Amino acid sequence: MSAQTVTEPQIATEPVEFQSKGTTVRGNLYLPAGATDTLPGVVMAGGWCYVKELVLPRYATAIADRGIAVLAFDYRTFGASDGEPRLDIDPWGQIEDYRNALEFLGDDARVDPDRLGAWGISYSGGHVLILGAIEERVKCVVSTIPVVEGEMNMRRVHGEERYKDLLDLIAKDRRSRYEGNEPGLIPFHVDDPTKELATWPFPDSGPVFEKLKETGAPNFENYSTIESVERMLAYTVFPYVKRLGKTPTMMVLTENDHKTLVDLEIEAFNQIASPDKRCEILPSLSHGSLYEDARHTRTAATPAAEWFERHLGGRG
C-alpha cells in the first residue's frame, strides 16, 4: 500500500493596504486558489502587540482553504502599518481598524460584501465580540481565547500587591505625559516578572514569542505604551455580548487558560444572546499552546474554519 499524501492548501497571498482614520494600514489578503465564484470574506488581526505574521497565517490559511477570502492586517502603530505613537494600543482604535478592513474587503470585486465575518485572538478575541454586536456587516464571529474583562484580568494575573505596582506605574506615566513627556513603554513579557513589571507577567511567554519573531515575525516588538495598559483596565465585552442577538458566534477556549482566564471567558459566552452560538473548549491546552505548537493551532483553527464555512458559505 502506498503512503497517503497530505495536500497542502493552495492559497494565494496578496499584500494590500487601506486607510483607517487617514492612516495607512497594511495587511495580507489570502485567497483560495482557483475560486470561480464570489467569495465570502473574513477579517482578522492579532492580540496584544501582535503583528500580522505572528500566528495569523496559520489561521488565515485554514479558513481560506474552505473557500473564504481572509484579510489579516496590522493595526495602526504596529508592524507594517503607519501611525504614531508607535506601539500604542487603543482597543477602540483597533476596532475602528477592523471596521475599515470590512469596508476594504467588501469593496473587493472577488468578495461578497453581504457575507463577511470577523475572527480574533486574545485581545482581538474580545474586539470581535464587540464588533459583532455593533457592526451590521459582520454576519459571523469566531473569538479565540479572548480578553473579556481587562481590569479583572490584570488584577488576577498580577496578584494584588504587584497590581498596585502596576497602578503606580500607570499613574506616574500619566503625570509624565501631562507634563509633556513622551509616552512610557512597558514590556509585553519579561524573564522575571518579580523584578520587572510586564503587562503579561508570564516567564513562559518570552521563549515562545521570541521564537515566533525569529522564525517569521521580525516586526514583533516586545513593548507597548503604558497608556495601553491603562486603557485595558477600562475594557470589557460584557455590555456587548448581550447584544449579540442575531450574530452566529463561536468561542474557542483552552481548558488551562490562566492568562485570559477561562472562567471569565465562559461567563461571557453564557451571556451571548444569540441562540446560534457554540463554545469549543480544547482539553489539556493552554493559552500559550495555540502559539507554541502548530498542531494545537490547527486544533483551534479547524472548528473556526468550519463555523465560517457553515455560516458564510465557501469552497467557491
Of 46, 44, 76, the residue nearest 60 (C-alpha): 44
Rounded Cα distance, 316 and 304, in Å: 18
Statement: the pTM of the whole predicted model exceeds 0.75 = yes
Q: Which three cell numbers stand for residue 218?
A: 521580525
CATH superfamily of 11-149+236-312: Alpha/Beta hydrolase fold, catalytic domain (3.40.50.1820)
At 5 the pLDDT is: 43
Q: End-to-end CA distance of the chain: give it in Å, rounded.
A: 33
Grid cell listed for 292: 507554541
Across the chain, mean pLDDT equals: 95
Residues 16 and 71: beta-carbon distance below 8 Å: yes
Residue 293 — pLDDT band, cuts 50, 70, 90?
A: confident
∠ at Cα 210 (208, 216), nearest 5°?
100
Contact by Cβ (8 Å): 200, 257: no
**Closest C-alpha to 48, from 263, 199, 266, 261:** 199
* CA dihedral over 208, 214, 220, 224, signed as positive or negative: positive
**Are 215 and 55 within 8 A, CB to CB?**
no
Q: Give the model confidence (pLDDT) of 23-76 as tens digits.
A: 999 999 999 988 778 999 999 999 999 999 999 999 999 999 999 999 999 999
In contact, 193 and 202? CB cutoff 8 Å: yes
Q: In whole angstroms, give the CA distance from residue 82 to residue 297.
A: 29
